[in-house]
Amino acid sequence: MSALSLVSHQARYDLRAFRRNTRARIFTLAVPVVLLLILVALFRSGTVKSGGVTVKIAAYYVPHIAAMAIVGAGLINLLITLVAKRESGSLKRRRATPVPAWVLIAGDAATSIVSSLVIVLVLVAIGSLGFGLTVTGAAIGVAAVETVIGAAAFCCLAYALSGLVGNAESAGPMVQLSTLPVYFISGIYIPDNVLPHWLLDVASVLPVRPLAVALQAAFVPATNGGQRFALVPVLVVLAWGAAGLIIAVRKFSWVPRRSS
């Protein structure tokens, strides 16, 4: 089997497992949709100042909730799944086969990317059909590229962070606890014009806000000085992904913590 067909073989089963996993579906698909509906409904006909310009509330929350959804699919869901698989011995079991490690990582990344693309598409469709979000082909194209980059980067971070989490029970609460403050200071829940500048500066070097800013620019280039593709924020996201990959390659463990 060629490398590519091996990855698609693996991704097929990973996606199938993802589709049947109720927790994964609720976390990655239902939560962002519900949040978007609540937040947009709260400010129904309003606007918000962001990136120096006034944007429709949907043009703010669709990209920001999309960034959160990508973190959910790429980082949170994968991290919980990974730790559970490692502690149950399922990763060790796969390690006993000739399948190269990178095929398994690529399979997980493909699953994260596909589920991220689906949820971002759903969020954009809700924003466009229900709340007047302006969607162009260019916006969709740039947002899709950024979604793929973001999902892959957070997937690498999930592999890196899995080494810090000892057991499957604590994986969920731990990752929620660490992402929630980041969501807040990144302007995911509250518009970023009410956040102090220094807090936004902190958030801008973390991976969540740059992804949200880049996605927002895809739909409203004016928030990024007219550039639809926000290069610097995308580079920040890529840097986090690369750092995650380096740590993952060095520290990732296939065997349960308790037995090593």
Candidates 11-19, 53-61, 138-146, 190-198: pick the segment binding other proteins (CB under 8 A): 11-19
For residue 227, which of 236, 235, 218 has the smallest C-alpha distance? 218
For 53, the 3-state DSSP assignment is strand
**100 contact partners, CB below 8 Å, separation of at least 6:** none
Beta-carbon contacts of residue 103 (< 8 Å; ≥ 6 apart): 3, 6, 7, 10
- Cβ(131)–Cβ(166) under 8 Å? no
Asked if 250 touches other proteins (CB under 8 A), the answer is no
Binding mask 37-76 for other proteins (x = CB under 8 A): ----------------------------------------
Q: What is the 3-state secondary structure (H, E, C) of 120-158?
A: HHHHHHHHHHHHCCCCCHHHHHHHHHHHHHHHHHHHHHH
88 binds other proteins (CB under 8 A): yes
Give the CA angle between residues 202, 204, 210 to the nearest 5°: 155
Task: Single out the residue of 34, 95, 134, 225 in contact with other proteins (rule: CB under 8 A).
Answer: 95
Residue 16, interface with other proteins (CB under 8 A)?
A: yes
User: Candidates 88-96, 176-184, 190-198, 201-209 — which segment interacts with other proteins by CB under 8 A?
Assistant: 88-96
Of the candidate residues 89, 163, 166, 172, the single one contacting other proteins (CB under 8 A): 89
Is 25 a binding residue for other proteins by CB under 8 A? The answer is: no
Query: Rounded distance, CA 234 to CA 132, Å?
Result: 26
DSSP 21: -
Give the nearer residue to other proteins in terms of CB position, either 50 or 81: 81
- Residue 178 binds other proteins, judged by CB under 8 A: no
Using the rule CB under 8 A, is 251 a contact of other proteins? Answer: no
> Which residue among 2, 44, 45, 96 contacts other proteins (CB under 8 A)?
96
Residue 69's Cβ-count burial label (10 Å; 0-12, 13-18, 19+) is: buried
Assigned token pair, 70: 């990508």
Contact string (CB under 8 A) for other proteins, positions 99-128, x = contact: xx----------------------------
Nearer to other proteins, 1 or 41 (CB): 1
Q: Which residues bind other proteins (CB under 8 A)?
A: 1, 6, 9-10, 13, 16-18, 20-21, 85, 88-90, 92-100, 255
